[in-house]
Amino acid sequence: MPKIVLIPAIVAAIIAGCSDREEITTGVILDGQRLEQFPAETAGLDISAPYWTPTAEQASLADMAVLDHLRRMDTTRSRQISDAISDYKRQYVGYTVGGKQWMLVNAMCRQYWESQEIWKSSVVVVLDGGTCFFNARFEIATSTVHSLEINSDG
């Protein structure tokens, strides 16, 4: 069973109704202003402020690049994910490093997103979980995936 990390302030914010996001077919675009208010939410992801809100078009470009990257990785685990990509939902989180805009594409399998609602409003940080969870870092200016990490089975 994967270990899911939720920060108490995040849960309080959700209960208070602070769940700004835009739902799209492939997942949710999380609001950058909200993340600025709750910076602890991104703990464990190695991203930091300033945050910004991606557009649906940027999320779509990132998705195409991530799928292409998965296919080029050509490992058993990446093939499992790319073959079942329509069963994954994603969170799109905009952040800035060195003046450049980046997007974290944070993905989870159907087994998780069908049983949990929190993924629609708060960044999900999962330890372990295997191919059910992966994330990629997409640079906006170059439309390039710089890293893609598939969770371990541990």
Number of domains within the chain: 1
Q: What is the pLDDT of residues 103-122, one digit of tens each?
A: 999 999 999 999 999 999 99
Minimum mean pLDDT range among 9-13, 31-35, 58-62, 98-102: 9-13
CA distance 148 to 66: 8
Q: What is the pLDDT of residues 88-100, one digit of tens each?
A: 999 999 999 999 9
Place of tokens 């994603």: 90
CA distance 78 to 134: 10
Q: Average pLDDT, stretch 46-69?
A: 95
CA distance 121 to 144: 26
Query: How many Cα atoms sit within 13 Å of 73 on the Cβ side?
Result: 21
Domain of 141?
3-150
